[in-house]
Amino acid sequence: MAKKIVAIVGTYRKGKIIDTAVSEVLCGAQEQGAETQIIYLLDKHIEFCTNCRTCTQEKDVGRRGKCVHNDDMDEILTAIDAADGVVLAAPRTSSTSTP
């Protein structure tokens, strides 16, 4: 069975350096027979977590509870759960201090 690799991309600039790097990583995975998926956080509706912990209250061990927000987070977490590997990609934040 083919491995599943999901990439979570957190950049606001599609088609730039981060996209290129992720594409190269996923291309290499595909060449090895993996199924790949890219999730752009920019395209998803994600509400701010209020730390209510409803999602952690599921009684069955190993299951995630349902979030109180009606957003895309469950879809993202389900894709991560089903993946054999996860690529996290985001631009570096700029720093005002010098080392």
| pLDDT tens profile 8-44 | 999 988 889 999 999 999 999 999 999 999 999 999 9
pTM above 0.85, yes or no: no
pLDDT at 14: 87
Residue 96 pLDDT grade (very low, low, confident, very high; cuts 50, 70, 90): low
- CA 24/CA 45 separation, integer angstroms: 26
Residue 85 pLDDT grade (very low, low, confident, very high; cuts 50, 70, 90): very high
How many CB atoms within 10 Å of residue 7?
24
What b-and-e string marks burial along 12-21, b requiring 16 or more CB atoms within 10 Å of the CB?
eeeeeebbee
Share of the chain above pLDDT 90, in %: 65
Question: CB of 5 within 8 A of CB of 39?
Answer: no
Q: What is the pLDDT of residues 67-78, one digit of tens each?
A: 889 999 999 999
Tell me which DSSP letter residue 32 carries: T
Question: CB of 26 within 8 A of CB of 38?
Answer: yes
**Percentage helix, strand, coil for the chain under 3-state DSSP, each rounded to 5:** 30, 15, 50
Task: Indicate whether 79 pLDDT > 70.
Answer: yes
